[in-house]
Chains A and B, each alone.
Chain A
């Protein structure tokens, strides 16, 4: 089995337009959640989100590209450009043929769907732009990344709601580890902050009207965000031979299904994913220094997640730091695991643990060290990233310091 390392990272989200800006915001515990700005927002009960403000696609894409790229595709491309630039890779010849793209998304081109449904249903138009289908399809982002970077190997999209990015990165890890690919671009992208996207979430009654406060006793729901995270996963010997800078090593991955309820999380399913990732990576629970939590800020997730971590890590759970960065960038749904992996890399490389901001009152059902409100310095060598999706689908990644 091959070793797999990360040699490039890119992002755009409510905290920053790239990795350095995002990590600075995470270190400072800055909140990127603000009032939503889009058409018909006044008809929503939920009016806050981790929206990327002042975004000007014209500065990165030409007119023809903009007519083909939904916002979620634009985010994926911007993050992929940063990641590939950092890696220093140029995909030609044999390398292009054995490199691919696996990206997560949940809603795909939801903004495109929303705008065009509005146009035909509400405005009664009988004609839509010819690119509606290629813009809205869930694989549009993966395909455009493949086209722009000349990645000619396995390329596809994974949709497992809030765990999409972790499932995507886990599959990319497997493909490089198994030897079928030398390099995979992987992560995820989401852009659901439009009237229909937020209205649908409103219906479920799990959204907060004021703030995301993971693990806090007074938490009252999740807050949605948007953005993308994309990484270059590269076979270790390939990276070493070209002298690439290694950001971290991917050492374990596991996925499980609760097989119980379409929305209520299960402690057993989550705990099995955590222990599975440890087993896959040959990791002892005592080595785990930090867990980037799924930590949505809902009543159900946070207490179930804490119980699962306690079960999976046993006595080590009292020592480990666990934080949710969703209070800063919002829940970026199918892109969230990819954005959150940045906090894992920061912990390993910079020795800085991103805080859980918005934390106000201890909850006895979330009695772990949740790194409340302020970042902390710590020397950690192994980290985990949790993602537990609606549908009962769990995916946990383990990373080790390079």
Chain B
């Protein structure tokens, strides 16, 4: 048997009612909607895009509400700054999971993206989460924000540490419709969101010139193979005049990347790769680039619902990926 988690797009008034019930909540919504919510056991990030049961949608006046199951053993809110986020894995419950939300385009976003793999106890416990954003028409005008217990932050991360009872466990999964092509092998000399040089099949090249010369489709990410799982880094911009390429997550030095193979039918690929037992998913999020490039507005993605985000976290920052955490029953050792 699996835990049942309620996830729905609610009005501000209905969200306030949920908060008043006292149950820990994970919220996502436009800043103006979230600012109307009272203090309580909730964390949130700003974003007006959602995967709903009827498909991808956008709303500035509704809030996506994820209620934790009845049988969680406890949940605690935590606010991290750029220094303390390094110990997030130490703060996680022995048995449970953590959802963390960071504001996009901030120092804490950048440091988490670059340094999370070096954190103490990295990946030892289930960490998922997302990068908050803004409506695309507000880019450059409004800053992404996160909330905890009614307080708003522009430079901190918020986390909900969720403890599970004995007999239950959380497991993190991803759905990535991209895989490596059989084209050139690309490595980078430094770990960075922005690069000039790369090694293409071992030969040093200006990467922006390479991208232009090859005519690479920047809607397709670079993909690394992490022992059978494809991990993406998405292009943000290619500036051939400056010779710079920017990404939505850092490329890591010495990791081997290849440009992604083309995808013919995005929605079909998502549906085919969705996990079984979507009802056991405690939390999920999907990338805004998938929403945009795959034209997911009004299209269902295999019954999984949640915010559409400026970056996804499954232990570390990912791009163009659907992330989920599932609560499963664990047979007793006896």
Chains A and B come from one and the same complex: no
Name B residues whose Cβ lies closer than 8 Å to a Cβ of A: none
